[in-house]
C-alpha cells in the first residue's frame, strides 16, 4: 500500500532513532549513478555533487555536500572518498541508497499522529525533503516509489512545518486537502498595527495579524501570524512582498526568492477528517523557533542602548526617540514640542472614568476630552468602551494632527472627532467651530481633562528634559496653577446658564487630574463656580491624590425651601478610590 504526503501537528511526539542505520543503508544499492564527462574533468568531487542530478535527489546543496562527508558517495566503487578528490573523464560517481533515512534519524523527525489512513510529522527547519521523497510504514524517508507515503506538496527546507501523510487511494484525501488551514508565523520589516488581507497568487487571501512590533535602528520588526492554505507556502513570501511586507532573513535582510534562512515557521495547522456529514477536526501546534525570540530581544537591547546613549547626550525623553509611548495598553505616536509624553500616573484618570461610568446606566456614553494632546485619554477610554463616542479638542494643530493619526492607527477615527478650540470659551458660540457647537448641544456623560497645572514658578522645579523637549502649552499655565480649572468650570456654568447642558444633569460626570497637593483647591473651584458636588477622589500608584470626580448638583430649590447642607470638604469625604491598592 502507498500513502501521500501533506502537512500538520500535535499529540506527544515520537522520536525515531536507529543505531544501525548508517551501517545497514549502504548495502541497499545505488540510488543514482553519474559518469563524469570531459567537460567536468578536473572538478573536485564536492563541487561535482552540486550538479542538478544530485540536488534533485538530495534536495539541497548542503545535503549533497553532507552525503559526501558521510560516505554515501562512491567513486568508481570506492567508499569514504576525500571531498577534494579530483575527477577524471569516465569516472563513475554513485549515490548510495539510505541517505535520506539516515538524515531523518539524525534530525529526529517527529511523528505527531498515526491512524490507518493518516500520519502526521513535524519537519524541523533545515530538513532537506526531496520533492519526490516517500516515507515507509516505519517512518523512514525513501526515494520516489519506494516508500509507502508520497508528498502532496513540497515544503521548503528552511521552513519548519507539519507533514500530513495520506494513504494513496484514501477516500478522505480531497476532503482533508480542502479543509487544510495553517498559521505561519513570520518576522517582517514593516510596522503593522492592525489585521490586513493580502491576495495570494491563486486568488485566495492571506489574513495577516500583527502580534508585536519592535523598533530597530532602521525601522521596525513586526511579528505576524498569517492564515493560509499550506499549499501556498512557497508563494507566501512573494505575496507579502508585493504588498510591501518583506520577510526577514537570518542575516536581518530581506528574503530572496527561496525561503532558505527566512524567519518563517508554521505554528499551527488544522484539518478535518471523515465525511461532510460526520467530521472530526484535528488541530496541531508548534512553538515558534528560538531564533525569532532571539532577534526580537537583540533588537530591543540595541534600541534601549541607543536610546539611553542619545538621551544621556541630549536629555531627551526616550519616548521621543522611539516616536511612540505605551499608555493603558495602547501604542501611541508622540513628537517632541508637539505633545507631552503620556504619563503612567494619568492612567489613573482612565480608571477613574471607568469607575464613574459604572455608577450610572449609560448604554452609549458620550465623552468630551478637553486638551486632548496625543489623544491618549480619549482613545484609552474608547478602547475600553466599544459603544462610546468621543469628542476631543485642543488649541494646538500639531497635537490634533498626532491625535488624529493615533485614532487612525487604532481604527477609532469613526468613533471620535477632533476640533481646534479653546476649552475656556465653550460658551462663546462665535469662538468654536459649528460642528463642535452641535456636539456640545447634544451633551456629554463624561467630561475629562488633564489640564496644565504648573505655574511659571513651578517650571523651575521641572526636569530639564521636560522644559527642553515637551510643549510648554501642555504643562505650564501663566495665570497660576488653577487657572485652567477655573476657566473650564466657568465655561460649563455659562453654557448651562444659556440653556446648553454640555454636562448632562443626571448622568454627567466631570473628572479632573490634579497635582498631588491641589485637590482641595480644585474641589473648592468646582463647587463654587460650576455648582458641582465631589463624588470621589482617586489615588495613584504612589497613594497620592490624582483625580477628582464631580457630579452636577440638582436644580436649585425654591427660595422658600430650605437649602441643602453644604457638601463635605475633601478631608471629610467618605469615598476614596485606590486605583492601585498597596
Q: What is the pLDDT of residues 378-416, one digit of tens each?
A: 999 999 999 999 999 999 999 999 999 999 999 999 999
Mean pLDDT value across residues 214-236: 77
With b for 16 or more beta-carbon neighbours within 10 A and e for fewer, the 135-158 pattern comes to beeebbbbbeeebbbbbbbbbbbb
Helix (H) or strand (E) holding 302: helix 290-314
320-555 maps to which CATH number? Answer: 3.40.50.150
Digit-coded pLDDT (tens) for 166-221: 877 777 778 888 888 889 999 988 778 788 888 877 677 888 888 888 777 667 78
Q: What percent of the chain has pLDDT over 90?
A: 30
Per-residue model confidence (pLDDT) at position 77: 85
Place of cell 525601522: 219
Tens-digit pLDDT profile for residues 430-451? 888 999 999 999 999 999 999 9
pLDDT tens readout for residues 482-524:
999 999 999 999 999 999 999 998 889 999 999 888 899 999 9
Higher pLDDT, 182 or 153: 182
The whole-number pLDDT of residue 124 equals 83
Beta strand segments in 421-466, E: 446-449
CATH 3.10.290.10-classified regions of the chain:
3-161
pLDDT digits (tens, 9 = 90+) for 12-30: 333 333 333 333 433 457 7
For the 3-161 domain, the top CATH level (class) is: alpha beta
**Is a pLDDT exceeding 70 seen at residue 299?**
yes
pLDDT of 574: 42
More confident residue, 80 or 92: 92
> pTM of the predicted model, to two decimals?
0.49
Q: Chain centroid to CA 493: how far?
A: 45
Q: Which residue has the higher pLDDT, 389 or 312?
A: 389
pLDDT of 559 reads 43
pLDDT tens for 523-532 read 999 999 999 9
Question: Which residues of the chain form CATH 3.40.50.150?
Answer: 320-555
Residues of the chain with CATH 3.30.2350.10: 178-293
Residues with Cβ within 8 Å of 11's Cβ and at least 6 positions away in sequence, in order, are 112, 113, 120
Range in 93-97, 237-241, 286-290, 562-566 with the lowest mean pLDDT:
562-566
Provide CATH code, domain 178-293: 3.30.2350.10
Strand boundaries in 477-570, DSSP class E:
509-513, 532-539, 545-552
Q: Which of 97-106, 354-363, 431-440 has the lowest mean pLDDT?
A: 97-106
Q: What confidence tens digit (pLDDT) does each residue in 259-282 have?
A: 566 889 999 999 888 776 677 889
**Residue 421 CA: distances (Å) to CA of 171, 434, 452, 481:** 70, 11, 16, 21
Amino acid at each position: 500500500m502507498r500513502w501521500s504526503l501533506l502537512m500538520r501537528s500535535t499529540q506527544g511526539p515520537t522520536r525515531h532513532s536507529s543505531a544501525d542505520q548508517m551501517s545497514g543503508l549502504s548495502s541497499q544499492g545505488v540510488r543514482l549513478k553519474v559518469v563524469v564527462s570531459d567537460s567536468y574533468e578536473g572538478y573536485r568531487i564536492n563541487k561535482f555533487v552540486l550538479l542538478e542530478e544530485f540536488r534533485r535527489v538530495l534536495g539541497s546543496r548542503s545535503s549533497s555536500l553532507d552525503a559526501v562527508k558521510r560516505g554515501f558517495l562512491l567513486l568508481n566503487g570506492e567508499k569514504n572518498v576525500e571531498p577534494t578528490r579530483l575527477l577524471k573523464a569516465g569516472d563513475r560517481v554513485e549515490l548510495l541508497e539510505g541517505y535520506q533515512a539516515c538524515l531523518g534519524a539524525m534530525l529526529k523527525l517527529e511523528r505527531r499522529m498515526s491512524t490507518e489512513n493518516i500520519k502526521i510529522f513535524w519537519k524541523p527547519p533545515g530538513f532537506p525533503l526531496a520533492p519526490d521523497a516517500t516515507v515507509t510504514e516505519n517512518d523512514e524517508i525513501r526515494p520516489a516509489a519506494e516508500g509507502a507515503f508520497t508528498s502532496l506538496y513540497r515544503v521548503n527546507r528552511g521552513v519548519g512545518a507539519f507533514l500530513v501523510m495520506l494513504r494513496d487511494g484514501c477516500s478522505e484525501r480531497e476532503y482533508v486537502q480542502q479543509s487544510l488551514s495553517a498559521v505561519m508565523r513570520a518576522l517582517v520589516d514593516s510596522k503593522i498595527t492592525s489585521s490586513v488581507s493580502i491576495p495570494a497568487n491563486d486568488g485566495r487571501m492571506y489574513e495577516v495579524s500583527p502580534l508585536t512590533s519592535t523598533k530597530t535602528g532602521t525601522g521596525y520588526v513586526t511579528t505576524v501570524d498569517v492564515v493560509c492554505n499550506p499549499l501556498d507556502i512557497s508563494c507566501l513570501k512573494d505575496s507579502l512582498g508585493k504588498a510591501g511586507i518583506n520577510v526577514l532573513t537570518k542575516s536581518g535582510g530581506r528574503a530572496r526568492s527561496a525561503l532558505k534562512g527566512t524567519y518563517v515557521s508554521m505554528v499551527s495547522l488544522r484539518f478535518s477528517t471523515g465525511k461532510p456529514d460526520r467530521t472530526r477536526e484535528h488541530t496541531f501546534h508548534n512553538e515558534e523557533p528560538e531564533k525569532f525570540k532571539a532577534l526580537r530581544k537583540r533588537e530591543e537591547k540595541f534600541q534601549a542602548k541607543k536610546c539611553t546613549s542619545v538621551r544621556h547626550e541630549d536629555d531627551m525623553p526616550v519616548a521621543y526617540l522611539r516616536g511612540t509611548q505605551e499608555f493603558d495598553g495602547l501604542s501611541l505616536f508622540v513628537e517632541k514640542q508637539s505633545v507631552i509624553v503620556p504619563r503612567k500616573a494619568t492612567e489613573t484618570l482612565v480608571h477613574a472614568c471607568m469607575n464613574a461610568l459604572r455608577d450610572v446606566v449609560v448604554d452609549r456614553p458620550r465623552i468630551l476630552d478637553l486638551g486632548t494632546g496625543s489623544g491618549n485619554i480619549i482613545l484609552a477610554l474608547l478602547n475600553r468602551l466599544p459603544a462610546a463616542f468621543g469628542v476631543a479638542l485642543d488649541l494646538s494643530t500639531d497635537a490634533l494632527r498626532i491625535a488624529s493619526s493615533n485614532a487612525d492607527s487604532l481604527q477609532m477615527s469613526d468613533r471620535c472627532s477632533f476640533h481646534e478650540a479653546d476649552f475656556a470659551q465653550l460658551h462663546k458660540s462665535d469662538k468654536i467651530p459649528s460642528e463642535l457647537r452641535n456636539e456640545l448641544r447634544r451633551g456629554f456623560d463624561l467630561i475629562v481633562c488633564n489640564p496644565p497645572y504648573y505655574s511659571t514658578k513651578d517650571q523651575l522645579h521641572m526636569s530639564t528634559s521636560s522644559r527642553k523637549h515637551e510643549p510648554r502649552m501642555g504643562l505650564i499655565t501663566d495665570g497660576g496653577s488653577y487657572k485652567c480649572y477655573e476657566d473650564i468650570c466657568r465655561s460649563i456654568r455659562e453654557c448651562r446658564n444659556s440653556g446648553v447642558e454640555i454636562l448632562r444633569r443626571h448622568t454627567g460626570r466631570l473628572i479632573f487630574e490634579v497635582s498631588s497637593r491641589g485637590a482641595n483647591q480644585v474641589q473648592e473651584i468646582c463647587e463654587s463656580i460650576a455648582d458641582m458636588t465631589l463624588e470621589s477622589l482617586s489615588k495613584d500608584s504612589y497613594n497620592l491624590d490624582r483625580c477628582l470626580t464631580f457630579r452636577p448638583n440638582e436644580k436649585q430649590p425654591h427660595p422658600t425651601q430650605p437649602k441643602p447642607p453644604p457638601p463635605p470638604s475633601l478631608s471629610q469625604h467618605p469615598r476614596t478610590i485606590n486605583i492601585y491598592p498597596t
